[in-house]
Amino acid sequence: MRAVVQRVTRAKVTVEGRVTGEIERGLLVLLGAGAGDGPADVGYIADKIVNLRIFADDAGKMNRSVLDVGGGVLIVSQFTLYGDARQGRRPAFTGALEPVAAKALYEAALAAVGAAGVMRVEAGEFAADMAVDLLNDGPVTILLDSRKGF
């Protein structure tokens, strides 16, 4: 699995004008599942999301997690994280997991983040055309890959 984790002051996802998820201070996570991903990948990504120390402590050093600060997590499915644009100008998405299995892993990630103690876990709408509105705090953006490709 791949994730783009952004520390935010606020974030909101809408589908056709309807809000599907919204948080104040916390993390916006764009999450994609790749071919071959399974429960171990979900566990790795969920653990990283909730324990990343990217919030400032009293000394201003990034030393606190979303759990430590009581923040929310908004997770948005994004298969395009597996877009491969190394050849030509149109990305190929052959590395993305097929939709039925990807949805199951997405839902498992939502549950795992909640089970880890995050009090507010919000979601986009799987496979929908979504509008994401956010205020990136810092900006702080971290890339995660369960296969440790980066």
pLDDT band at 90 (very low <50, low <70, confident <90, very high): very high
Across the chain, what does the average pLDDT equal?
97
**Is it the case that residue 4 has pLDDT exceeding 90?**
yes
Is residue 85 assigned to a domain? yes
pLDDT given for residue 16 in this prediction: 97
Residues 83-94: what's their mean pLDDT? 95
146 located within any domain: no
Residue 56 lies in a domain: yes
In a domain, 55, yes or no: yes
- Is 126 among the residues known to form the active site? no
Distance CA 121, CA 123 (A): 7
Mean pLDDT across the stretch 46-67? Answer: 98
State residue 149's pLDDT score. 83
**pLDDT value, residue 150:** 77
pLDDT at 145 over 80: yes
Give the active site residue among 6, 20, 55, 79: 79
Q: Which domain holds residue 32?
A: 2-140
Q: In the predicted model, is pLDDT for residue 120 greater than 80?
A: yes
Q: How many domains does the chain have?
A: 1
At residue 50, the pLDDT reads: 98
139-147: average pLDDT: 97
Q: Please pick, among 80, 94, 141, 150, the residue that the annotation labels catalytic.
A: 80
Active site residue 93: no
| pLDDT tens profile 9-44 | 999 999 999 999 999 999 999 999 999 999 999 999
The residue annotated as part of the active site, out of 6, 20, 55, 78, is 78
CATH number of the domain where residue 107 is located: 3.50.80.10
**Is 78 assigned a catalytic role?**
yes
